Amino acid sequence: MKDDFMRSKGTLVISLDYELMWGCCEWSTPEEYGKSNVAHVPMVINRMISLFHKYDVHATFATVGMIMLKGKEEASKMIPEKRPSYCCMKLSPYHNNYIQHIGREYENMYFAPNQVQALNKDSNIEVGTHTYCHYYCWEAGQTLDEFEADIQKAVEIASREGITLKSIVFPKNMVTDSYLKICARYGITSYRGNALKYFNEPHNKWERLKNRICRLLDAYVNIGGCTSVPYRNLEYKEGMLNVCASRMLRPYSPRLSFLERLRLRRIRKEMEHAAKYGELYHLWWHPHNFGANLEENLMFLESILKVYKFCHDKYDMQSCTMNEMTEQINRLHFS
């Protein structure tokens, strides 16, 4: 039974980094990227959910915990006792009373408790965590104790909203092994590990630039090989399953629109490979990526979901949330 499943049933996993302005506050403002992209996230999510239901696709929304709060007054009271002490303090949403300075007219770019509740009630959706404050685990200055305080607060607020957190996506994919033990302590059982190509922790700006260039090129042409992952290569660390990423779904670019067919073909070939050979294919992106050029992005997403339907009909490919994938692998692994 175990071998039959592994050979015959590929899996599509989709995870969304749901962060609103908390993921952008150190490099942009509500007046800039907020208005162009983040303000449209509620519409983006509603239309994505419609497409997911149309093609019976499941997805994990890894949600920044502060999004679940009602507004800046509550956020000001719900600050963890220990805050990230980054060397570059502008990365922290607690620095310089940032929360208190959020304008009333922009609160919906930071807080969306009703939308989180709607996601949690959807049988096709898992609400996971993207940490409480969009915490950066590779940044100099922060500590394990500060990260634990953040995760503790994320679990507390989610539990208050009737949500049990089982999956985590680390902001900017800054996965650190020593931090997984803390996540496991709070009941989290899966995480999205980095894609196998071009995402090792960079040690200088040149490695960072090289990785970015390689990832961009690989989105259109095959320079890194197939990114689907055989089930036998999925690893456990600290009791948590690495539901490894395959590819970020890049947003539509008007300047590169002439390459859209190549971008779709790249994803289609990888998904069909995963379906045919019984492997994991894990796509991820941010809802705010779709905020600009919404129609083009949704049209491209539907093209991908049509590929999934083809793979489901021909190869019996399945769609899972991160937690559903983990539960299946656990049953196979420990049976």
Q: pLDDT of 205-214, one tens digit each? A: 777 776 666 6
Give the residue from 127, 108, 143 showing the smallest Cα distance to 65.
127
- Domains observed in the chain: 2-334 (3.20.20.370)
Give the residue from 155, 162, 78, 74 showing the smallest Cα distance to 117.
162
Q: pLDDT of 138-195, one tens digit each? A: 999 999 999 999 999 999 999 999 999 999 999 999 998 999 999 999 999 999 998 8
Helix residue spans in the chain (DSSP H): 2-8, 35-36, 41-54, 72-77, 113-121, 144-160, 177-185, 205-218, 260-277, 294-315, 322-334
Cα(290)–Cα(38) distance, rounded to whole angstroms?
Answer: 9
Cα(36)–Cα(183) distance, rounded to whole angstroms?
Answer: 34
Band (pLDDT 50/70/90 cuts) for residue 93 is very high
Band (pLDDT 50/70/90 cuts) for residue 1 is very low
Long-range contacts (CB closer than 8 Å, 24 or more residues apart) made by 308-312: 308/12, 308/55, 308/57, 308/271, 309/55, 310/272, 311/10, 311/12, 311/271, 311/272, 311/274, 311/275, 312/275
Bridge partners (DSSP) listed for residue 16: 61, 285
Query: Is pLDDT of 22 > 90?
Result: yes
pLDDT for the residue numbered 6: 52
**How does the average pLDDT of the chain come out, rounded?**
92
> How many percent of the chain have pLDDT more than 90?
84
pLDDT for the residue numbered 256: 84
On whether the CB atoms of residues 41 and 20 are closer than 8 A, the answer is: yes
pLDDT for the residue numbered 132: 98
